[in-house]
């Protein structure tokens, strides 16, 4: 029986009037993701006409009108259908611009004045979202500026959204947590990982906990191993300044892959509420056995072929140090020391310039302990059942099962039971749309708690300090060959 709090959470919430402040509004993230997501939500009526957007950046070349023209051009390149009249009405009613100048305390006080002015004009309560669409080195001064100018205080509610990466290691993550907690309570902080907004990721909880036969098999007695793969066919796409300081471990493993791992491995929460779910995720992170150096492989893409075209290697990318040892591939073997998962290896893989862009979770089940079909020969060898959960690009589920082929002699073949979201529901909404609505509604279920961040960095910070060889792999070729040894323990 569903308790009252859980039942209320399932009901559609009414959007409260608010002002949505985007810090870093002229940056790549805001242009590619945030403004398209907000505009789609507005055109769908999801925001119910109650959201005012204040775009903030250091640039002084814009005012309200010139920035609106810029956003229209940007939205036109994202494939959105822009109706001039509807767009103009939306801009006039919702979209505004403010320059933060040099970002000193006086500039933040002027920002506070502008917010109060808009709230008065639009008859808004003091409900505010501050979205930091900024590079990581801008997080600390921005948090401090908001706090010292008392923009963290309000008569309504205030929420702050912080993009990944949250810190570079355990020490820096703790420092950032301490800083943001100086001005904001944990209930106000939304550490965003856009992977968690994807429909298939969210459906992991439904898939596991609403289907009794899967949850019954979801343990060491029936599962042999689990692979979590986030592969990209692109390179660093002109982001050398960021990537040289980050690498694949910081950029992908500490956040995206680790979040998927916790959702796959967690115990059932007592309720479908943010605190209960986050507590179970944190437990899993604390139960992971310390990772040994022999359980990790670092790689870096060299020259190769993608889609029939020759592409340069990582060290040949503009802005990359010619002898760079930054990893563009990471392969990891993890073990979880609890009753459910003892002895079951988890393999995490991520890399750039892979043959295809795909994010999948592969659950390999144990083979039948005895095969009655062995006397029929090699064609009747029993293969393990494999559940494949595809998160992108074609979201859905695929269960590999064994069946008999038609006719004689006896022959076993692998077939699929599959489900695709697009076939049943059409194209799923953009992940940022779901997450932005959650922020506005005050739902932290799909956001990362401070304890999660620090627990994850506790696992991976030691790997940042080891002197591991970087294995080169040709672009488009797949994993470095050395990765195979992770399966051989």
H, E, C per residue of 428-441? CCCHHHHHHHHHHH
DSSP secondary structure string for all residues of 334-366: EEB-STTTTT-EEEEEEESS-SS-EEEEEEEEP
Reported as a single tens digit per residue, the pLDDT across 169-192 is: 999 999 999 999 999 999 999 999
CA distances for 127 relative to 96, 259, 451, angstroms: 17, 29, 26
Instruction: Name the nearest CA neighbour of 131 among 216, 206, 195, 189.
Output: 189
How does strand 18-23 pair with strand 128-132? parallel
Q: How confident is the model at residue 8 (pLDDT cuts 50, 70, 90)?
A: very low
Q: Nearest CA to 236 among 352, 128, 135, 341?
A: 352
**Known active-site residue 449:** no
Angle, helix 450-465 to helix 170-183, in steps of 10 degrees: 160
CATH numbers and ranges of domains, the chain: 16-163 (3.40.50.720), 196-429+468-487 (3.30.360.10)
Q: How high is the pLDDT of residue 42? A: 87
Q: What is the mean pLDDT of residues 68-86?
A: 78
Query: What is the strand order of the sheet 189-191 is part of?
Result: 95-99, 51-57, 18-23, 128-132, 158-162, 189-191
| pLDDT of 201 above 50 | yes
pLDDT at 6 over 80: no
Q: What is the pLDDT of residue 413?
A: 77
Spatial separation of the C-alpha atoms in residues 154 and 16, rounded to whole Å: 15
In the predicted model, what is the mean pLDDT of the chain? 88
CA–CA separation, 195 and 369 (whole Å): 37
Q: Could you please report the per-residue DSSP string of 388-450?
A: EEEEESS-EEEEEEEEEPSSSS--EEEEEEEEEHHHHH-SPPPHHHHHHHHHHHT--TTSB-H
| pLDDT of 12 strictly over 60 | no
The answer to whether residue 391 scores a pLDDT higher than 50 is yes
Mean pLDDT is lowest, of 40-49, 96-105, 226-235, 299-308, for 40-49
Distance CA 62, CA 402 (A): 62
Of residues 112, 11, 13, 104, the one with CA closest to residue 54: 112
Contact 353, 476 (CB under 8 A): yes
Backbone angles phi, psi at 247, to 5 degrees: 80, 170
Which element (helix H / strand E) includes 160?
strand 158-162
Rg for the chain (alpha carbons), in Å?
A: 24
Q: Which residue has the tokens 């080195």?
A: 137
β-pair type (329-335, 345-351): antiparallel
pLDDT at 2 over 80: no
**Distance between CA atoms of 344 and 37, rounded to whole angstroms?**
39
- What digits encode the pLDDT tens for the residues 100-152? 999 999 999 999 999 999 999 999 989 999 999 998 899 999 999 999 999 98
Predicted pLDDT at 372: 60
Model pTM score: 0.88
């Amino acid at each position: 029986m569903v308790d009252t709090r859980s039942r209320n959470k399932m009901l559609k919430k009414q959007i409260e009037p608010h002002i949505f402040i985007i810090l870093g509004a002229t940056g790549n993230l805001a242009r590619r993701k945030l403004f398209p997501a907000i505009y789609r939500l507005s055109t769908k009526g999801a925001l119910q006409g109650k959201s005012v957007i204040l775009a903030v950046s250091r640039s002084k070349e814009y005012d309200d009108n010139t920035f609106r023209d810029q956003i229209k051009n940007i939205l036109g390149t994202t494939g959105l259908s822009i109706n001039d009249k509807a767009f103009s009405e939306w801009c006039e009613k919702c979209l505004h611009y403010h320059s933060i100048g040099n970002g000193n305390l006086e500039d933040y006080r002027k920002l506070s004045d502008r917010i109060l002015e808009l709230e008065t004009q639009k008859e808004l309560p003091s409900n505010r979202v501050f979205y930091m669409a900024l590079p990581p080195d801008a997080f600390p001064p921005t948090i401090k500026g908001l706090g010292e100018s008392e923009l963290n205080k309000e008569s309504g509610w205030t929420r702050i959204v912080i993009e990944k990466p949250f810190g570079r290691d355990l020490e820096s993550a703790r420092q950032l947590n301490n800083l943001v907690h100086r001005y904001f309570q944990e209930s106000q902080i939304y550490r965003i990982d856009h992977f968690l907004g994807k429909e298939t990721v969210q459906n992991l909880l439904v898939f596991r906990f609403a289907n009794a036969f899967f949850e019954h098999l979801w343990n060491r007695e029936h599962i042999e191993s689990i692979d979590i793969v986030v592969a990209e066919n692109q390179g660093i796409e002109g982001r050398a300044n960021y990537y040289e300081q980050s690498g694949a471990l910081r950029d992908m493993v500490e956040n995206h892959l680790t979040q998927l791992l916790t959702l796959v491995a967690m115990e059932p929460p007592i309720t479908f509420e943010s605190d209960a779910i986050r507590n179970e995720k944190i437990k899993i992170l604390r139960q992971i056995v310390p990772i040994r150096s022999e359980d990790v492989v670092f790689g870096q893409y060299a020259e190769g072929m993608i889609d029939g075209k020759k592409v340069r290697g990582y060290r040949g990318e503009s802005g990359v140090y010619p002898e760079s040892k930054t990893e563009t591939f990471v392969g990891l073997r993890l073990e979880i020391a609890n009753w459910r998962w003892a002895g079951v290896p988890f393999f995490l893989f991520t890399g750039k310039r892979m043959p295809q862009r795909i994010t999948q979770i592969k659950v390999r089940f144990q083979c039948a302990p005895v095969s009655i079909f062995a006397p029929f020969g090699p064609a009747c060898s029993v293969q393990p059942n494999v559940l494949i959960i595809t998160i992108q690009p074609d979201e859905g589920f695929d269960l590999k099962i064994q069946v008999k082929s038609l006719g004689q002699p006896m022959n076993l073949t692998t077939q699929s039971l599959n489900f695709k979201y697009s076939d049943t529901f059409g194209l799923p909404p953009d992940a940022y749309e779901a997450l932005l609505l959650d922020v506005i509604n005050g739902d932290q279920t799909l956001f990362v708690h401070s304890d999660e961040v620090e627990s994850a960095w506790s696992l991976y910070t030691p790997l940042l300090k080891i002197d591991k060889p970087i294995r080169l792999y040709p672009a488009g070729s797949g994993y470095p060959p050395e990765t195979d040894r992770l399966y051989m323990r």
